[in-house]
Amino acid sequence: MRAAWVLVAGVALFGCTAPPGRSPSEGVQETGRRSALRKASVWRPVDTARLDVRRGPEGSRVPEAPLECSFVLPSSPMGGNTPKFPCRGASGEILKVKYGSGNMEVQGEIFGSRLLWLLGFYTDRIDPVRVRCRGCPEDPWDFLQGFDIADPRPAPPTGSTREFHPAIVETYFGERIQARPGQGLPWNEILEELSEDDERAGVQRIHREALTLLAAFLAHGDSKPGNQTLACAPGGGTPARCTRPVVYIGDLGAILGRGWRVVTSKADIEGWSGIPIWRDPATCLARFNTHPAGTLFDTPISEPARAFLAKRLSALSDAQIRDLFVVAGLDGVGGELEGQDGEAHPPSADDWAAVFRDRRRQITDHTCP
């Protein structure tokens, strides 16, 4: 089978016993959700220089380690347009597998999650693995089209095994805090719902604006409410009684391109290099080409927030920056560049890293009013 990029989302993750977003958090009311949001952090201190990009966060799987699972029929229709299918893991957990050789969201998820982790921003963990699916149809998404749970078709023979590589497995950071199913978190709430304590609110404002500027750096193009997460961090109790609420970007697939332009541009080096971070440099208005259902629009960034992010980005070494693109599978992937010979060629990890450093300079070499 032709190599395909795959995203696998597990259900028992970082101490989280159920996948976020499936149902309301037990006992959480809207007032409690907003109270948690006003207390939430988006960042914690890390020693960036000592972090190993290739190894990843603590608890990461060995890169490209085999992941065994068995194809199962879904318990409900699988929405969306991205090819996907459910698969049962060795411990009985149901994994959601996204796949497709042209699915550039997967590279973005790996890159984005590793970068946010390096900088100290909260994020889900994503590990590159090999997926070996027992009983998988040749094209699972095509097989499931028109699937009716009331009149299911027979599953394919269980004897066949198909391997998907490269692939990734996602581990949710915490259990989502929400008052209704699929509630999500609009970006304006991240910026507006701050602590009632003025000093704490000042720190939150800097960190949350810095996260917003980082989203502009990445050319994040899909900020629908469901793509941001308010969660209870591990060890913080339950969603209804959480002592460690956190906020983070829960879907980083639509990055490293131009943002939204009729369709979302993803992992496209020409697009990423051609879109400035600032819509208006003089006023530090960060640029966002946002999906029609998105919630993140051009946003003014304060000098303390710019300086905060600039310091974190400057802590990254050239080797770490290059490794980010290698680990994400972007060495030789992501559009084309014109070479010195006048011919178009796929971008190398070094080409991507050069664009990263140029975009970093747009932040580090700038001053906001």
Strand 84-89 versus strand 65-71 pairing type: antiparallel
Average pLDDT over residues 143-163: 72
Residue 119 tokens, joined: 């900088």
Q: 223 Cβ partners below 8 Å, 6+ apart?
A: 187, 215, 288, 290, 291, 294, 295, 296
The tens digit of pLDDT for each residue in 300-328 reads 999 999 999 999 999 999 999 999 999 99
Query: Percent of the chain at pLDDT above 70?
Result: 86
- Give the confidence band of 29 by pLDDT, cuts at 50, 70, 90: very high
Q: Token digits for 244?
A: 């460690």
- The answer, yes or no, to whether residue 20 has pLDDT greater than 80, is no
Per-residue pLDDT at 3: 40
DSSP assignment string, 125-138 = EEEEEEEEEET--S
Parallel, antiparallel or unpaired: strands 125-134 and 65-71:
parallel
Tell me how far CA of residue 95 lies from CA of 45, 46, 67, 123, 292, in angstroms.
Answer: 32, 30, 11, 19, 29
Count Cβ atoms within 10 A of the Cβ of residue 35 and give its class: 0-12 exposed, 13-18 middle, 19 or more buried: middle
φ, ψ dihedrals at 347, nearest 5°: -70, 140
What is the pLDDT, as a whole number, of residue 22? Answer: 41
How high is the pLDDT of residue 15?
Answer: 34
Provide the β-strand partners of residue 249. 228
Per DSSP, the three-state class of 205 is: helix
| Alpha helix stretches (DSSP H) within the chain | 30-39, 105-119, 140-144, 187-192, 198-217, 269-274, 303-314, 318-327, 349-364
**What tens digit of pLDDT does each residue of 77-130 get?**
776 666 777 888 888 887 777 776 677 878 889 999 999 999 999 999 988 888
Is 207 a residue whose pLDDT tops 90?
yes
297 near 288, Cβ under 8 Å?
A: yes
Which pLDDT score is estimated for 275? 95
Region class of 237: left (phi > 0), else alpha (psi between -120 and 50), else beta: left
How far is residue 135's CA from residue 92's CA, in Å, rounded to a whole number? 15
Q: Report CA Rg, the chain.
A: 20
Residues in contact with 163: Cβ distance below 8 Å, sequence separation at least 6, in sequence order:
1, 130, 131, 132, 133
- pLDDT value of position 96: 74
Model confidence pLDDT, tens digit, residues 334-367 = 888 887 788 899 999 999 999 999 999 999 999 9
